[in-house]
Amino acid sequence: MSESSLSASPASAPDRNMVQQIIHALRQAPVTALTGLVIVGIYVVAAVFAPWIAPYGEYEVVSDIPFAPWSEANLLGTDQLGRDFLTRIIYGARNSIGIAFVTTLLAFAIGGFFGIMAAALRGWVDQVFSRLVDAVMSIPDLIFTLLLLAIFGSSVLNLILIIAVLDSTRIFRISRASAMNVVTLDYVEASTARGEGLYWRIVHEILPNILPILISEFGMRFCFVFLVIAALSFLGVGLQPPMAEWGSMVRDNAVLINSGDITPLIPASAIALLTVGVNFVADWLLSKSSGLSNEE
């Protein structure tokens, strides 16, 4: 199945330009995917324009009363230090999404690079990397992350590097498997016979053909990374205060739950809504990239 879809997927699209293609794809998208796109769009806008949307500054203490109730001045009340809750949520979008995005990109760069290398070179290189990945993957992610955080300490940079490296093992497997399908195809062997170098083959033959698979995986991996960072921050070992982050906002304001106040659930639902939205979009992309052979 994958071979035919892979050979059909590269730049074989009709002569329409990219904007027209995107509009065409969107017209055919199911409701769930469109809902997901709208949700993701809203989050991205909030993240990018946070300083202009938010009523106060990220670290600004606006009230003497911690845990102030909802009011006109502070629409969602204040947090444990008297900072505006709504402002913190908007800035939280910027921090949580930004860091998760960078981490996922890095994970794809690492995992994709080594995965394609392993598939292209085969032999002992493949063996060494694959067994290394097996070893890392036999320890549960969250546990391994916690272990490494204990050793290196939880700074933003450490957090990004640790999660990216651990998550790249998954991407290694995906890109290796899909590259394996491609390297045996005739046109890649033809390029080898032509005398093209390894680099040329990877960039011009292999990468374009596994890119659709990697792109459709991106959403899933982003969700995973995003949830891990939120969970770590919730546990108090992820992003450190005073940085606004949804996971740690839940943690810091959790006492309000005991008095029946739903404010701490808002950042938690922000996390949940985004993952649902991204999952909807990713689901659609995934079925598109695997169903290409049926359409064409």
Which region among 22-30, 45-53, 196-204, 227-235 touches another protein (by CB under 8 A)?
227-235
- Structure-block tokens of residue 126: 């493949």
Should residue 34 be labelled a site residue for another protein when binding is judged by CB under 8 A? Answer: no
Backbone angles phi and psi of 78, in degrees to 5 = -125, 165
Give the single-character DSSP code of 81: T
144 binds another protein (CB under 8 A): yes
Shortest spacing between CB 192 and another protein, in angstroms:
35
Is residue 8 a contact residue for another protein (CB under 8 A)? no
By CB under 8 A, is residue 42 in contact with another protein? no
Rounded-to-integer distance, Cα 146 and Cα 134, Å: 19
Q: Which helix (H) or strand (E) holds 209?
A: helix 207-235
Does residue number 257 form part of the binding site for another protein (CB under 8 A)? yes
Q: Which of 38, 121, 128, 262 binds another protein (CB under 8 A)?
A: 262
- Looking only at residues 207 through 226 of this chain, which bind another protein when binding is defined by CB under 8 A? 223
Q: Does 192 bind another protein (CB under 8 A)?
A: no
Residue 16: CB atoms within 10 Å: 11
Contact present, 206 and 119 (Cβ < 8 Å): yes
Query: In angstroms, rounded to a whole number, what is the distance separating the alpha carbons of residues 42 and 63?
Result: 28
Q: In sequence order, which residues have a C-beta less than 8 Å from that of residue 50 and are 6 or more positions away? A: 58, 90, 91, 93, 94
Choice from 18, 143, 157, 193 touching another protein (CB under 8 A): 143
List the one residue from 231, 287, 292, 293 that touches another protein (CB under 8 A): 231
DSSP states of 183-210? HTSHHHHHHHHHT--HHHHIIIIIHHHH
Taking CB under 8 A as the criterion, which residues in 118-137 touch another protein?
134-136
Question: Which residues sit at the interface with another protein, rule CB under 8 A?
Answer: 134-136, 138-144, 146-153, 223, 227, 230-231, 234-237, 247, 250, 254, 257-260, 262, 264-265, 268-269, 271-272, 275-276, 279
